[in-house]
Amino acid sequence: MAARQLNPAQLAAVHHLDGPCLVIAGAGSGKTSVITQKIARLLQAGYAAKNIGAITFTNKAAQEMRERATHLIGARAAKDLVISTFHSLGVRILRAEGPRVGLKEQFSILDSDDVLNVLKDAGGTTDMGQARHWQWTISLWKNQGYNAQDALKVAKDDDERAAAIVMERYQDRLSAYGAVDFDDLISLPLRLFASDAEARGKWQDTLRYLLVDEYQDTNSVQYELVKQLVGERAMFTAVGDDDQSIYGWRGATIENLKRLPQDFPQLKVIPLEQNYRSTSAILRAANNVIAVNPKIYEKKLWSEFGEGDPVALLEADGEEHEAERAVARINALRSEGKAPNYADFAILYRANHQARVFEKALRRAEIPYKVSGGQSFFDKAEIKDLCGWLRLLVNQDDDPAFLRAVTTPKRGIGHTTLGGLSEFSGKWKCSMFEALFAETLHTVLPRRAVDQLHEFGRTINELEFRCRTTFGAEDARVLLMDWLKDIGYEQHLLDSEENEKVGAARWSNVLDFVDWVSRRCGGQITQDGGATVEAEKQSVLQVAQTISVILSLAERGEEQDQVTLTTLHASKGLEWPHVFLAGVNEGLLPFKAEDEDMTPQRLEEERRLMYVGITRARTTLAVSTLRRRKKNRETVMGIPSRFIAEMRLHESQTKEDPREKLKKLREQMAAKAAVTAAAQSKAD
């Protein structure tokens, strides 16, 4: 967003420094400007950069905020700002205070896959679905601040009681491993601050002013952590929008917004209502929809961009037809010259699977597109396995990588052995890999286990040596294939999959990965012009070292001129000139599962989702419904979503179009004439 004079509400938000402040930032109201300007203001008021904390939910948001801040206040000042996600702030706290909560200094963080494996182990099942269900339930409990005992008390049925029991064993296992999961990154610092005034005071002194972005997405544990951090001084600014709270299903609660004025009576609430994104026609539809929800804080968006095109309401005969119409619309707007780029378009939908039909239609029309969200290549289990090995080669103290590598493929080293090893490494304050070669290891583990660990250690050392001394694409490929053969990875994939085809598909992903890594080891890289460029050869280890950087760059992707396909959830915070809202039907948006009954709260969240979708659009918005839609075997009648009526598109705008006025006048005169005529004929 271009630098622009702040409006009065934004200025008020930026300059309110002496107490707690809640900024209700409507969609497109320039909240990031407010946050970055406020940081600048805080520096001006004498706060040191290192004492200002800004908390976001995603790494992407944190990075963007840092970029904006750097732009505004310069790299030197920005570098000391504490801008991080809730989770990385948790890591920071735990790294410093780990021992106080019984954590070794080099604790591991398990990702979602690791957690699933531990749960399968702890719960004694191989059933993926069951493990997922436990993971989900346990995570929700943790996000409400419950430990295993609390969970057992609140468990409503046998299913939940079983989950609570698994949770207890899961926690035991985590502490044996010296590991934490994502949820612990918030709850452990909270527990620490609640019980340890010294640690709390220390962190309150470090983060003297706190800014919390997307406050409506906080869960109760995160809110408690914020409360502990800001303490009695209550120097903070929360920025959020109750109308854009769409993550209730994963523990976020707008109760946190209601509680804020109760917990901080001196709270200053500042709504930002001027929108710098959309036309009036679009904002009117958005305001009308969201007005149906009960409000916590009243606000109504407006903009200075004029009425603009009316919101288009489209009806399609079915999914395929809808996709065709989307394509037609893109082509039409482009040929009218209203949209120079494909990147000006987005197609938004409720559920991921809806993307498929659109992909097909776009491919056929040869329109470039990208599907945002969805699983990336590097999220696949087999790729993560191999990345685990490579990470361990690079940094042998990376315990999560160690755990992953040592257990895939299975080599007779189970949780008992690993528990012993972890305890040992915790006691001697070294990594698990280091512990593996300790002289005294045999005093805590049986001979056989120690032998197996040594065997693994030798494999790693040998592999590390070879990776360090192997250069160039061809040699790298040979080395990597040798390694996979040695550890029997292909067999492991084929064995662990019920279906041989699935196993083969996974193996083919592995081969792609080998190809990817070895190409990066150098030799020759062909540029797209066809010209071949000689690159410097790199060792396999060097490539492995940069892998995480390359991954995050690959994830970002170069900006290309493509139509965006994305879920409504993933669209929050983004904007496009032309937005196509697909499948706005009862059952889909609002979504309704077969067995579930719709609570008012659920419906309100769905309505907010619609609101988020509408407010993504800058200049044109098309809302599409299906007259027929596929359900089960047959095609059923599609009922337009109630949200369409709620947009009240037929209602004329406040400032009446002169042509409309004229039309109405004519009608009135005609009516009068009719009455007169009737009176005359009666008189006759």
Partner DNA sequence: TTGACTATCTTTTTT
Partner DNA sequence: AGATAGTCAA
CA atoms of 527 and 412, how far apart (whole Å): 46
**CA dihedral sign, ordered 154, 158, 164, 165:** positive
From the candidates 284, 616, 618, 629, give the one annotated as an active-site residue. 616
Looking up tokens 């309505």 gives: 607
The verdict on whether residue 90 carries a ligand-binding annotation is no
Least distance from DNA to the Cβ atom of residue 504, Å = 12
Which segment (22-30, 84-92, 435-443, 475-483) binds DNA by CB under 7 A? 84-92
From the candidates 10, 32, 566, 619, give the one annotated as an active-site residue. 32
- Answer yes or no whether residue 353 interacts with DNA by CB under 7 A: yes
Our CB check for DNA shows the closer of 10 and 408 to be 408
CA atoms of 245 and 216, how far apart (whole Å): 5
- Answer yes or no whether residue 302 interacts with DNA by CB under 7 A: no
Which segment (286-294, 387-395, 628-636, 653-661) binds DNA by CB under 7 A? 628-636
In sequence order, what DSSP letters do the residues of 446-461 get, joined into one string? Answer: -HHHHHHHHHHHHHHH
- Answer yes or no whether residue 562 interacts with DNA by CB under 7 A: no
Beta bridge partners of 535: 523
- Answer yes or no whether residue 536 interacts with DNA by CB under 7 A: no
- Interacting residues of 527 by C-beta distance below 8 A, sequence separation 6+: 533
- Answer yes or no whether residue 263 interacts with DNA by CB under 7 A: no
The answer to whether residue 214 is catalytic is: yes
DSSP one-letter code for 264: -
The verdict on whether residue 32 carries a ligand-binding annotation is yes
- Answer yes or no whether residue 567 interacts with DNA by CB under 7 A: yes
The answer to whether residue 31 is catalytic is: yes
Contact residue for DNA among 50, 67, 112, 315 (CB under 7 A): 112
Looking up tokens 């706290």 gives: 93
The answer to whether residue 244 is catalytic is: yes
Our CB check for DNA shows the closer of 161 and 631 to be 631
CA atoms of 362 and 558, how far apart (whole Å): 20
The verdict on whether residue 60 carries a ligand-binding annotation is no
Least distance from DNA to the Cβ atom of residue 152, Å = 23
Q: How many residues does the chain have?
A: 684
The answer to whether residue 92 is catalytic is: no
End-to-end CA distance of the chain: 71
- Answer yes or no whether residue 363 interacts with DNA by CB under 7 A: no
The verdict on whether residue 233 carries a ligand-binding annotation is no
Beta bridge partners of 117: none
Measure Cα distances from 570 to 58, 103, 362, 450, 546 in Å.
12, 35, 20, 47, 28
| Per-residue binder mask for DNA (CB under 7 A), 34-63, x = binder | -----------------------xxxx---
Contact residue for DNA among 153, 447, 633, 659 (CB under 7 A): 633
From the candidates 137, 204, 218, 244, give the one annotated as an active-site residue. 244
Residues 387 to 426: which contact DNA by CB under 7 A? none
CA atoms of 533 and 514, how far apart (whole Å): 21
The verdict on whether residue 231 carries a ligand-binding annotation is no
CA atoms of 325 and 318, how far apart (whole Å): 11
Least distance from DNA to the Cβ atom of residue 381, Å = 9
Measure Cα distances from 234 to 39, 82, 191, 230, 261 in Å.
16, 18, 19, 5, 12
Q: Residues 418, 424, 427, CA angle at the centre, nearest 5°? A: 140
Contact 437, 425 (CB under 8 A): no
- Strands (DSSP E) contained in 93-225 are 108-109, 179-180, 209-212
Q: How many residues bind DNA (CB under 7 A)?
A: 37
SS3 592: coil
- Answer yes or no whether residue 341 interacts with DNA by CB under 7 A: no
The verdict on whether residue 408 carries a ligand-binding annotation is no
513 phi and psi, to 5 degrees? -65, -45
Contact 164, 122 (CB under 8 A): no
The verdict on whether residue 373 carries a ligand-binding annotation is no
Least distance from DNA to the Cβ atom of residue 403, Å = 17
**Residues 413-441: b if buried by 16+ CB within 10 A, e if exposed:** bebebbbbbbbbbbeeebbbbebbebeeb
Q: With CA atoms as reference, report the closest residue to 242 among 252, 229, 230, 228.
A: 252
Contact residue for DNA among 7, 70, 88, 125 (CB under 7 A): 88
Our CB check for DNA shows the closer of 114 and 399 to be 114
CA atoms of 350 and 147, how far apart (whole Å): 33
Beta carbons within 10 angstroms of residue 402's beta carbon: 28
From the candidates 181, 213, 344, 475, give the one annotated as an active-site residue. 213
- Answer yes or no whether residue 384 interacts with DNA by CB under 7 A: no
From the candidates 214, 319, 344, 423, give the one annotated as an active-site residue. 214
The verdict on whether residue 31 carries a ligand-binding annotation is yes
Least distance from DNA to the Cβ atom of residue 591, Å = 4
Contact residue for DNA among 176, 550, 570, 649 (CB under 7 A): 570
Contact residue for DNA among 125, 150, 152, 182 (CB under 7 A): 182
- Answer yes or no whether residue 545 interacts with DNA by CB under 7 A: no
Active site residues: 31-32, 213-214, 244, 616
Binding residues for ATP: 25-32, 277
Binding site, by residue number, is 25-32, 277
Residues that bind DNA (CB under 7 A): 57-60, 85, 87-88, 111-112, 128-129, 182-183, 246, 249-250, 350-353, 356, 373, 375, 380, 502, 505, 567, 569-570, 591, 593-594, 596, 630-633
